[in-house]
Structure 1
Amino acid sequence: MKPFFASGQTESAENLWEQFVREMSEFLQDTEMWKDVSFLVLRIVLICVISRLALAVLNRIIDHATNEKKSRRLKLRTRRVQTLGRLLKNTASYLINFITILLVLGEFNIQIAPLLAGAGVIGLAIGFGAQSLVKDVITGFFIIFEDQFAVGDEIQTGSFKGSVELIGLRSTRIRSWTGEVHIIPNGSINQVTNFSVNPQLAVIDITVSSDYTIEEMMSLMRQVLLQINDLNLTAAPEVLGVQTLAPSQMTIRITAKCRPNTVGEVTRLVNTEVKKALEAKQASVID
């Protein structure tokens, strides 16, 4: 009996194999199916190519609109325009990719309307659960469009001060002068002090001995300041006069208008030049 059942199982397996081979052969020889598949692949490739071309055209338009020469001609801040250009490019990329995915799904006869409705419901639920994220995104848009600050600006918000490295939709990255990087959610940026919009004023107080007269010291400092030639200065430094008096010393105040973010450099330069002049005068008196 065992050989009989074994032979029956062998014939059944052979019949199944032959049926599988026959069905595969008919499937591979179905010209209509291959024609439909070819058109489907061609349409998907065309959608991808057209989407890439559309994205490239949009990027070119954005680059042209945010061109440095054009922004200067329209009296727009170059760094703000560059930041806005990067934001527009990212937005265009997300939008084009989203539309491309929807069109490709449509080619597979997947109903898009239910997907959009479901995405809307999910987005609404996420919106209620991520109000802080929505607040960060909205604040990020207002920071850019209101030109509160731009990449490269020196700002202070709260206890954080430094140079702006990145303005994203959700957060802003600031690097302090000592190297620390602070990542601040846009929604928590309530007050901002921007040190890069207008020229700054360096205030330098120099303490000298009362052995010299006030007129003598102020005249010496004026001569030194007139000889300082630095690109960071927007006007010649001025000697305002005596700020404080003490029995054995006096403090003379100097102000210097300088380019944004250069107060430290100008202050060190003025201190160095005045110190050199004072040392030279003291040496000449001793001689």
Structure 2
Amino acid sequence: MEAKKYNLEVSNHDFTVKSYWLDQVEDFNQTVDYPIVVICPGGGFTFHSAREEEPVALRFNSFGMHAVVLEYKLIDQETVYPTALQELAKTIDWINKQPASRHIDKKRIILAGFSAGGNLVATYNGIGTDEKLRQKYQIDHLTGEHAGIILGYPAIDLTVKGSFPNDDKVLHEISNDPTFWKAQDLLNKNSKPAFVWQTRTDELVNVINSLTYVEKMTQLGLEAEYHMFGSGIHGLVFGTYVTQKPGKDKYLNAWTSKWIELALNWLQMMKLLG
């Protein structure tokens, strides 16, 4: 496996992606093109959670997938959107233009997002699959498309009271454009299949977020698998010692840790892996 950082640029904004490229397995006696996952970590649009970066990338590597972590735009002097959306589109374009020697199955690009990163992925699953919106937000010139998404405790509807961001100031720092406030409303018949999981007791992002998204996908006849676990805090990642904050047992949750194996099964069922 080769780990490498790249600096990319879109709309006069520089951003970083971290790649985890799989090596070929000599015992196979033939080359294999691997699926690839683009990981968008959470952090409330104020930082990128390292707990949702390399540990997640390496786990997907173990499934036989290349992995890329996108360090998308955060809150600063300019709003997060549409720049973050453009960065994700550029990352997919960059993957699509990788040489054949990288052995990427470019028809099986998966987007995985957690919390705020889940908002980005869920939003892209709508705008990125809508020709008119791609043109409106200036990503229509970028190539490649994703095949499915994985969402972990995603922020979907930014207007839900008592849920992230629960602050009009922060909401407008994320975007002044109401188009970006409700990711569920962006879904369309061309949106890609989704695997979604969250805990019922999530104290930061109300579980109505993921329920609303999956409900809209169901209404549109889109493929979706949803798991609502009965208990657990926000930001569990794996719920194991691998992503546990030192000394904080609340980040351990053996039951919710099963989501990653469920996601593996879903990827295989959707013929996006294996």
- On whether the aligned pair clears a TM of 0.5, the verdict is no
CA radius of gyration, larger in: 1
Relative to the length of structure 1, the TM-score reads 0.21
| Structure with the larger RCO, 1 or 2 (CA within 8 Å, 6+ apart) | 2
Relative to the length of structure 2, the TM-score reads 0.21
